[in-house]
Amino acid sequence: MKDNGTSDKIKGNVNKVKGEIKDQIGNATDNKSLQAEGKLDKAKGHLQETAGKLKDGK
């Protein structure tokens, strides 16, 4: 079965949401480490989503 990029796009969106939650909780609790982890998760999510779009040719 051909991977059409949907899996990467879904994983990317999950990581972006997870990262946003960590970033906001880190911000609210002044936890710089958690905030940084959230930012990394968001960046990873953006990359995964882009990879999925490239696989789809969009």
**What pTM was estimated for this model as a whole?**
0.85
Q: How far apart are CA 28 and CA 19, in angstroms?
A: 14
Q: Which residue has the tokens 């906001």?
A: 24
Q: Which pLDDT score, from 0 to 100, does residue 4 have?
A: 80
CA distances from 20 to 5, 6, 25, 58 (A): 23, 21, 9, 25
Q: Which pLDDT score, from 0 to 100, does residue 2 have?
A: 56
Of 20 and 56, which is predicted with more confidence? Answer: 20
**What would the 3-class secondary structure string for 5-46 be?**
CHHHHHHHHHHHHHHHHHHHHHHHCCCHHHHHHHHHHHHHHH
**Residue 29: is its pLDDT beyond 70?**
yes
